[in-house]
Amino acid sequence: MRYWLMKSEPSEYGIDDLARDGIAPWFGVRNYQARNFMRDQMRVGDGVLFYHSSCPEPGIAGLAEVATPAYPDTTQFDPESKYYDPKARPDNPRWFHVDVRFRQKTRLLPLAEMRSYPELARMRILARGNRLSITPVDPDEWHFILAKLGVGQ
DNA sequence: GCCAACGTTGGC
DNA sequence: GCCAACGTTGGC
């Protein structure tokens, strides 16, 4: 069992969208490190912190879980898609993603509040200039955050 | 809108 | 394989 933080812009796809859909393919990742996390390390049932980025109140907005193993992202083959990758071929896909299942909304845990806790100081999301959209979360950090959110394990 | 950080591209 | 230029991310 591993834990992850996954960023999304709520204007693109936020926690309310996931609450409505129940389950969603996490397509559009075009960063090798983030892809490798999904493809090589994620397991069904892993915990996910759903993080809202590039918005008025960035922070953790809810909980989700990994719902499927990684599989090829079909948008890489679609010339109409903004995620189209001309170098990817169906017989040799470059980009993979998992599906994510909604667990629950939480109160917003703002980025500024996260910064205030020494227990979270090592989180990658808090590092200056971090742009990685998927990052591993230590179990201690996961449990600390859930406690701050008032979520029972 | 600014700008720091950092990944990717492409010429050599 | 190096590295400068460029593009993107994302908080502020």
Asked if strand C contacts A108 at the CB level, meaning under 7 A, the answer is: no
Average of per-residue pLDDT across A107-123: 96
Q: A97: number of CA atoms within 13 Å, CB side?
A: 18
User: Does residue A17 sit within a domain?
Assistant: yes
pLDDT in tens, A62-85: 999 999 999 999 999 998 888 999
User: Does residue A86 sit within a domain?
Assistant: yes
Examine the pLDDT at A153 and tell me if it is beyond 80.
no
Asked if strand C contacts A53 at the CB level, meaning under 7 A, the answer is: yes
> What is the band of A96 on the pLDDT scale with cuts at 50, 70, 90?
very high
Give chain A's domain count: 1
User: Does residue A152 sit within a domain?
Assistant: no
Contact A13, A25 (CB under 8 A): no
Nearest protein residue to nucleotide C11, judged by CA and C1' positions: A54
pTM of the model: 0.94
Return the CATH number at A23: 3.10.590.10
User: Does residue A150 sit within a domain?
Assistant: no
DSSP A14-33: -HHHHHHHSEEE-TT---HH
User: Does residue A153 sit within a domain?
Assistant: no
pLDDT for the residue numbered A89: 86
Quote the domain boundaries for residue A80: 3-145
